[in-house]
Amino acid sequence: MMQIDSELLTCLQAYLVKMGLSVEQAKVEKLVAFVQLMDKWNKAYNLTSVRDPKEMLIKHIVDSIVITPHLTGRHYIDVGTGPGLPGIPLAIMLPDTQFVLLDSLGKRIRFIKQVTHELGLPNVQAVQSRVEEFHQHVPYDGVLSRAFASIKDMLHWCQHLVDSQGTFLALKGQFPAEEMDEIPANFKVCEVVKLDVPGLDAQRHLVKIQKI
């Protein structure tokens, strides 16, 4: 694997301590390596507006892995994954869980394929498709989305991907009261978890939804 930046490693380890998470060194190194790859390819692939790798640690890595305890299934799909967020950090944390990372943009999917090759992530499948047109491997235990769409649109476009046992997990900023008002009657909100993301000033919420 590539040379790991020791400053980023120390920085991430400090955040993990604040989160009360004990994570094996090999996984922490892969999380940092992912940040280094995002930083390396950001200009060419236009992956994220966050330019500083230390800021990526908080805004992308910590903000993704904070939902790890909420993934109790075996097979997830991350829709509108962009550069692999939250899918890649979660796949590093949960090597026995399968992840499909889906995005409509080819260059983002090419980046994710490069990442899975370099980091050795056999539990990740990268797929270029619009989610409305993707019908393989259903049903999933869960659909993940972060910075993708309103909850209503996400449910509309992704409802074919889970059955009544599956859960939609939407990562949101402030408590999404207005978006929750628009949820169609054939879905129910099971839980809204307020997430504590160390180092991040903004509020974060995880909305869990199921089909009725």
Which residues are documented as binding site for S-adenosyl-L-methionine? 80, 85, 131-132, 146
Please give the helix or strand (H or E) that residue 194 lies within, else none. Answer: strand 187-195
Residue number, 64 or 167, with CB nearest to ligand SAM: 64
The distance of closest approach from Cβ of residue 154 to ligand SAM in the complex, given in angstroms and rounded to an integer, is 10
Residue nearest to ligand SAM (CB): 82
Residue number, 24 or 201, with CB nearest to ligand SAM: 201
Q: Do 146 and 171 touch, CB atoms closer than 8 A?
A: yes
The distance of closest approach from Cβ of residue 155 to ligand SAM in the complex, given in angstroms and rounded to an integer, is 13
The residue behind tokens 């990562």 is 171
The answer for residues whose C-beta is within 8 angstroms of residue 94's C-beta and 6 or more apart is 68, 71, 123
Give the 3-state secondary structure percentages of the chain, helix then strand then coil, rounded to 5. Answer: 45, 20, 35
The distance of closest approach from Cβ of residue 124 to ligand SAM in the complex, given in angstroms and rounded to an integer, is 14
The distance of closest approach from Cβ of residue 85 to ligand SAM in the complex, given in angstroms and rounded to an integer, is 4
The distance of closest approach from Cβ of residue 147 to ligand SAM in the complex, given in angstroms and rounded to an integer, is 4
Residue number, 28 or 100, with CB nearest to ligand SAM: 100
Residues that bind ligand SAM (CB under 6 A): 79-82, 85, 102-105, 108, 130-132, 146-148, 157
Angle at 187 between CA 183 and CA 191, to 5 degrees: 85
Q: Do 102 and 157 touch, CB atoms closer than 8 A?
A: no
Residue number, 130 or 188, with CB nearest to ligand SAM: 130
The answer for residues whose C-beta is within 8 angstroms of residue 159's C-beta and 6 or more apart is 211
Residue number, 13 or 114, with CB nearest to ligand SAM: 114
The answer for residues whose C-beta is within 8 angstroms of residue 10's C-beta and 6 or more apart is none
Closest listed residue to residue 91, CA positions, set 127, 60, 124? 124
